[in-house]
Structure 1
Amino acid sequence: MQSQDVAPRPAPADPVVDVEQAEAALVEHYPRLVRLAYLVLPPRLGRNRRVLTAHALVQRALPRGRTPAPVIPAQSSGRDGDPGYAFVRLRVLRTALEAGLPRTFRAWPKRAQLPMPLPQVWGLRLFPRSGGADELALDQQLSALDSPARAAYVLRGLEKLPDGDVRAVLTDAGVSDADAALREADGVPARYALLESPEFDPCSLQARPTDLMRRRQHLKAALAAAAAVAVCGALLGLPGDGWAPDGAAAPPYARNPAAQAALDPGQLTRVAPSAWRTSARTDFSVWPARGALTGDKALLRRALAVWARPGETVQVSATPGTPSGGPSGPPQLLYAGEVDAARVVILYDGLRIVRYAEPKDGTTGAALDLARVDGATRADAGAVVLARADGNVRYLTAPWVTGAAERDLLKPGSGAMDLTLADGVTSPLASPAARSGACASWNALELTDASGTRVTTDLGELVPARLTTGHPGATHDASGAEELRSWAPYACSLGAVRGSGVRSVNAWRFTEQPLPDASGSAAWVCTRADTWRGGGARVLAQFRTPGGRYGAVAAQAQDSPACGARDPHVLAGVLWKSTAGDWYLLAAGDRDTVSVRAKGGIQASARGHLLTAEAEAGARAELTGALTDGRTVEGLS
């Protein structure tokens, strides 16, 4: 079944466009159309894929035939009154909204949901230039909206359409409730000028290499797969019965002992309640089975079967880098019980934590969540998300946890509010992962055991991320009063790494820099989010002036070793305006930086790890530093 774009049948007076008119509008307004598609596409695609998908959707927006195509009257007042632009804009918007729809097993995917054959870029990652703190805040707020609401905000701000026209365009694009989309968009402040920022310009791009080691591994794997196919082809040509359509292959789980055992509730691994006290390991492998339904074999059987082969109605999610296949053998049972309005089962197979949930009154609407947790330590294996409801979250804590509390990272002096623990299950606490709108608070989970206190935060995944501070390679938990004060100005930046498989986030104050107007010193902090899969780390260099409540993102990088244990160095810069109205380039590296040089729009250099130079508003510069060991360090972009 192929999804097709079908425009409403026009009335005799409706204007029409032919393919030449649509092409002229597309070419003339190509950058704006691509920007519109980029802003509407779901942020979960990642910046590189959003860029390529936005270009692909615009390039496929032309009519397929050469016959005139209808333009819906409500859209005829397109850019500068051009019906060709209105037509192309509608097609771009419609396919961008389709690309944001969740994939289900109940219907064939729409064309916009499939990988785009063109354009393709091999060996490079492309993403727009980074903006400032305002752009980052707007990007986070737009990420919290659903696709129709993002489209409404963009049509208001980028296209300057009144609400009546926005409502008509959304309806023609297939949005069932345009009024709800407009109301949701009202929750984001009307900072429409920021939509013109380079942060949201997929036509002005930066390029970085992909993971070179992973590319090499994939090439080896492809060669091995090709060899295996060749061997299989040779075997198929042998005389005799050969391999018939089902041939020697066993029916699903019929004659495969490992697969049968993986689906047998009686084979589940169950750990003794006191095993963690004497085990050499303190991770998820020593969690006992808890909950009132650990003996419900029918529930456990359903959980194992759904994990092995989820049905069409099951909502499946997996953190990046997490294999989604079924268990290779009997997994370990961590929990089975009723939580709020659902029956929940938590399983562990040595690589992944798996959460199965179904309604109390049936199995329709069951959900399966998977998260990679290989290599977890005692500090990482303190809690697992048990349930989410009404913006709140409940956790199942490790057996060694003796206390749990909720605290607001933005108010380090307000203390923590104790949570009740019943068989390891916490009372509900507000989750920052469910929050939308302005960042006025950021709740964290504080866990206490015999070894001390740790602070973690919910980033929309099964395992909360651990928060640390300190120099890379010598980090420690952000549990003390000083560490909590150091995290407070930067807690809201955690929203930028939600849903990316984050294991821990470290905040490192790598230097201070005197301001040129003698108004004090600004703090430079590097926050690094490391993932369970190893790659995909997100690095933010943040700049905070005296008296400022929040840090401003001055530079950022993806898949960078900066600020990490492997390469504990960083260099970043920011354009800063003094109270007298003068502009300066302020750049800073860590203490191992012996010189800093700026080139491009600003030419300057300085000995030591700090650089201050006069600049013009909007100027851009590339930064390079020299380290004490003779190596160079490039500035984060």
Structure 2
Amino acid sequence: MQSQDAAQLRAPVSHAAVGAVVDVEQAGAALVEHYPRLARLAYLVLPPGLGRSRRVLTAHALTQRALPRGRGKMPSIPAQSSGRDGDPGYAFVRLQVVRTALEAGLPLRRTGWPKRAQLPPLLPQVWGLRLFPRSGGADELALDQRLAALTGPARAAYVLRGLERLPDTDVRRVLTAAGVEYPDSALAEANGIPAQYGLLGSPEFDPCSLQARPTDLMRRRQHTRAAIAAAAALAVCGVLVTLPGGGWGPDGAAAPAYAQNPAAEAALDPGRLVRVAPTAWKSAARTDFSVWPARGALTGDSALLRRALAVWARPGEQVRVSATPGTQTGGPAGPPQLLYAGEVDTARVVILYDGLRIARYAEPTSGEAGAALDFARVDGATGASASALVLGRSDGNVRYLTAPWVTKAAERDLLKPGAGAMDLDLTGGVTAPLGSPALRPGTCTSWNVLQLTGPSGTQLSTDLGELVPAHLTTGRPGQAHETSGDAALRTWAPYACSLSASRAAGVSSVNAWSYADQELPEAGGRASWVCTRAETWRGEGTLSLAQFHTPGGQYGAVAAKGADVTACGPRDPHVLAGVLWKSGRGSWYLLAAGGKDTASVRATGGISASARGNLLSVRTKQGAQAELTGTLGDGSSLSGLN
């Protein structure tokens, strides 16, 4: 079986063949967000002959090594239809997991160095215990036995089909990029197993939900004396390393400091952290992060604060660093402001603010591995955009730290405007956990948002996988208002799922503007046109979506989109878009709409038609293409959004 695996594997494809480029920060964010799913993928692809305990540790090791070193850009495989909503960062780390899991199943050769994945993992390690997933039923056992009989590429094909829900075209692309020479043969071999894809989500195959049993106790007793002697020697070395003068133990997971810089050292002094009075916001001219007081039970833990500052200044190789696009990750220029220090779920969290960025440091409450450092750009944040920060995410939920002026928090499903809001406990500015749409896999059936109430009223924000939730508004660009009334909530409802297009893009706010209504031909009812525009903290990278919603439909359809355009924004509050629509009788029409200040609309190319006013409706055929132009009331021209 192993020789067949080796015969199907070749060298991974070159960078020139893979096309798109992925930021390492984007890949890191995808790895952290989807870690349990990636670890399950590695566990299923690994050969069962490794044994369940080693298979668990190897799955975690391969998943943790999927993130490349450095902070540049890495090549990605071509876009796929189902890769966690098309996230190229997730597609990249998934490819690394599949590739190394296939390499781990190859036999060792007598000549040449073994691949890293073929060796037992150095980390993670668990001493004195054997870890393995919870046992499933007879169906899971039978499926595991069938998977064990497959070659590695065929096992990967089956898992990508079932766990990732990829069509065969995308499975073939992933296998090819992972180094499989004959992906069609792997797919054909995988066809020999019944499609019991639902069983792949069983606890039987979950390396993150484990049982523990002791190892060989007699053998452990025989080696106790040797272990004590080794520990004593290690302790002596540890004392020497941490002697005053050159030690970096107090700096936690930070890299060693090779040069003494007085200004930099001052920024790392917990005693110099800026701390704001709890009532400062009441008399301040601005309601932004600079008036947030320090909260949390660990604000007096100088050792924790020192580690957070040191890791910010010089993160070590084991620290997972992520940043929203356009955010610098360098150390603070001076002592930052402390916003929070406390325990959140299973981590100690410190949140700092330097006037331009939010930095979130997290370390596990037990152990010394797994520190993370996240950055978000927040220059210009005030009012609603400075009302909440993400404290932590776990088990599909998110916790927020709210501004001191927030008096009430609630959770609302944006897809159900009439369902009302569910109150959330708010203790010390920290919300109870609520479901995060950024962490939810699969079909969009709900979109939970955070509803906050304060002196200026009620506002909505949504988690898009970053430190700062995006503020949701409605109304004509330049005159947008809060999404708080019934009409505003109904405007957002059909388009909530389109927010996934703005995940991990550094988005500060998203506005939904209902710019036109149109009577459909053949008495099809009345459709609505809405433009949703995502603004970013850095100014560039904006995304405008023109969406079309027919009566009776639950979701809107994206008719056109534009990246880094002024259309549908405060600088250019105009939009024109079109869509091919099929009537109930089977006839096809080109429908187009502009804002109410559009004087005429014209279609050229595959369809030639024009109309006065802001609406166009003309009968055509399926697949027809046209270019849209319009004229505004002042005589200026308007191009279609694309």
Distance in structure 1 (CA, Å) of the matches to 2:377 and 2:544: 21
In structure 1, what residue type is equivalent to 2:396?
G
Contact 2:473–2:480 (CA<8 Å) still a contact in 1?
A: yes
1:620 paired with 2:625, answer: yes
Structure 1 residue 171 displacement after superposition = 3.8
Q: Which runs of 5+ in 2 are unaligned?
A: 27-61, 99-144, 174-255
User: What secondary structure, in the 3-state scheme, does the structure 2 residue paired with 1:293 have?
Assistant: coil
Contact 1:167–1:178 (CA<8 Å) still a contact in 2?
A: no
**What root-mean-square deviation, in Å, do the aligned CA atoms of Structure 1 and Structure 2 show?**
4.1
Structure 1 residue 115 displacement after superposition = 6.4
Inter-CA distance 191–452: structure 2 relative to 1 (3 Å threshold): farther
Distance in structure 1 (CA, Å) of the matches to 2:470 and 2:345: 24
Aligned partner of 1:183 among 162, 172, 177: 162
1:405 paired with 2:410, answer: yes
Contact 2:287–2:382 (CA<8 Å) still a contact in 1?
A: yes
Q: Spell out the pairing of 1:483-562 with structure 2 (5 A cutoff).
A: 483-562=488-567
Aligned partner of 2:392 among 375, 387, 404: 387
Structure 1 residue 178 displacement after superposition = 5.8
Distance in structure 1 (CA, Å) of the matches to 2:335 and 2:75: 35
Aligned partner of 1:141 among 79, 85, 91: 85
After superposition, give the CA deviation of every residue in 1:489-529 in whole Å (9 maximum; x if it has no partner): 00000011100000000000000111111222210000000
Inter-CA distance 256–428: structure 2 relative to 1 (3 Å threshold): same
Inter-CA distance 431–44: structure 2 relative to 1 (3 Å threshold): farther
Aligned to 1:102: 67
Structure 1 residue 167 displacement after superposition = 11
Aligned to 1:288: 293
In structure 2, what residue type is equivalent to 1:258?
A
Distance in structure 2 (CA, Å) of the matches to 1:610 and 1:586: 8
Q: Spell out the pairing of 1:84-233 with structure 2 (5 A cutoff).
A: 101-104=66-69, 114=74, 141-143=85-87, 171-172=152-153, 180-186=159-165
Aligned to 2:209: none
After superposition, give the CA deviation of every residue in 1:397-431 in whole Å (9 maximum; x if it has no partner): 00000000001111111111111111101110110
Distance in structure 2 (CA, Å) of the matches to 1:520 and 1:609: 18
In structure 1, what residue type is equivalent to 2:553?
G
Aligned to 2:182: none
After superposition, give the CA deviation of every residue in 1:413-471 in whole Å (9 maximum; x if it has no partner): 11111111111011101100001110010000000001100000000000000000000
Inter-CA distance 556–406: structure 2 relative to 1 (3 Å threshold): same
After superposition, give the CA deviation of every residue in 1:512-560 in whole Å (9 maximum; x if it has no partner): 1111112222100000000011111011100011111110011111111
User: What secondary structure, in the 3-state scheme, does the structure 1 residue paired with 2:493 have?
Assistant: helix
Structure 1 residue 191 displacement after superposition = 10
Contact 1:149–1:184 (CA<8 Å) still a contact in 2?
A: no
In structure 2, what residue type is equivalent to 1:577?
K
Structure 1 residue 183 displacement after superposition = 3.1
Aligned to 1:322: 327
Aligned to 1:635: 640
After superposition, give the CA deviation of every residue in 1:284-335 in whole Å (9 maximum; x if it has no partner): 0000001111111110010001111111111110000101111011000000
User: What secondary structure, in the 3-state scheme, does the structure 1 residue paired with 2:163 have?
Assistant: helix
TM-score (norm 1): 0.68
Distance in structure 1 (CA, Å) of the matches to 2:334 and 2:267: 5
Distance in structure 2 (CA, Å) of the matches to 1:182 and 1:536: 33
Distance in structure 1 (CA, Å) of the matches to 2:169 and 2:534: 30
Aligned partner of 2:611 among 597, 606, 611: 606
Contact 1:541–1:556 (CA<8 Å) still a contact in 2?
A: yes
User: What secondary structure, in the 3-state scheme, does the structure 2 residue paired with 1:434 have?
Assistant: coil
Aligned partner of 1:586 among 573, 591, 594: 591
In structure 2, what residue type is equivalent to 1:502?
V
Contact 1:525–1:543 (CA<8 Å) still a contact in 2?
A: yes
Distance in structure 1 (CA, Å) of the matches to 2:295 and 2:8: 66
1:480 paired with 2:485, answer: yes
Aligned to 1:355: 360
Aligned to 1:49: none
Distance in structure 2 (CA, Å) of the matches to 1:305 and 1:359: 16
Q: Which runs of 5+ in 1 are unaligned?
A: 1-7, 18-22, 27-32, 47-96, 117-126, 129-134, 154-163, 197-250
Aligned to 2:135: none
Structure 1 residue 589 displacement after superposition = 0.7
Inter-CA distance 480–602: structure 2 relative to 1 (3 Å threshold): same
Q: Spell out the pairing of 1:237-316 with structure 2 (5 A cutoff).
A: 254-316=259-321
In structure 2, what residue type is equivalent to 1:520?
G
Q: Which moved more, 1:140-149 or 1:431-440?
A: 140-149
Aligned partner of 1:374 among 372, 379, 395: 379
After superposition, give the CA deviation of every residue in 1:4-34 in whole Å (9 maximum; x if it has no partner): xxxx98999x7999xxxxx9xx9xxxxxx97
After superposition, give the CA deviation of every residue in 1:71-118 in whole Å (9 maximum; x if it has no partner): xxxxxxxxxxxxxxxxxxxxxxxxxx99x942236xx99xxx7469xx
Contact 1:391–1:435 (CA<8 Å) still a contact in 2?
A: yes
Aligned to 2:240: none
User: What secondary structure, in the 3-state scheme, does the structure 2 residue paired with 1:358 have?
Assistant: strand
Aligned to 1:79: none
Aligned partner of 1:452 among 454, 457, 470: 457
Contact 1:473–1:564 (CA<8 Å) still a contact in 2?
A: yes
In structure 2, what residue type is equivalent to 1:102?
L
Distance in structure 2 (CA, Å) of the matches to 1:307 and 1:139: 32
In structure 1, what residue type is equivalent to 2:287?
T
After superposition, give the CA deviation of every residue in 1:230-264 in whole Å (9 maximum; x if it has no partner): xxxxxxxxxxxxxxxxxxxxx95855332111111
Structure 1 residue 179 displacement after superposition = 5.2
Contact 1:142–1:150 (CA<8 Å) still a contact in 2?
A: no
Aligned to 1:240: none
In structure 2, what residue type is equivalent to 1:184?
L
Contact 2:515–2:529 (CA<8 Å) still a contact in 1?
A: yes
Distance in structure 2 (CA, Å) of the matches to 1:16 and 1:327: 47
In structure 2, what residue type is equivalent to 1:183?
G
In structure 1, what residue type is equivalent to 2:163?
E
Structure 1 residue 350 displacement after superposition = 0.3
In structure 1, what residue type is equivalent to 2:298?
L
Inter-CA distance 527–114: structure 2 relative to 1 (3 Å threshold): closer
Structure 1 residue 146 displacement after superposition = 5.1
Contact 2:413–2:446 (CA<8 Å) still a contact in 1?
A: yes
Aligned to 2:198: none
Q: Which moved more, 1:335-344 or 1:606-615?
A: 606-615
Inter-CA distance 267–546: structure 2 relative to 1 (3 Å threshold): same
User: What secondary structure, in the 3-state scheme, does the structure 2 residue paired with 1:260 have?
Assistant: helix
1:571 paired with 2:576, answer: yes
User: What secondary structure, in the 3-state scheme, does the structure 2 residue paired with 1:535 have?
Assistant: coil
Structure 1 residue 472 displacement after superposition = 0.3
Distance in structure 1 (CA, Å) of the matches to 2:603 and 2:332: 53
Inter-CA distance 363–16: structure 2 relative to 1 (3 Å threshold): closer
Distance in structure 2 (CA, Å) of the matches to 1:115 and 1:492: 28
Aligned to 1:339: 344
Contact 2:66–2:96 (CA<8 Å) still a contact in 1?
A: no
Structure 1 residue 378 displacement after superposition = 1.1
Distance in structure 2 (CA, Å) of the matches to 1:508 and 1:627: 18
Aligned to 1:214: none
Contact 1:254–1:260 (CA<8 Å) still a contact in 2?
A: no
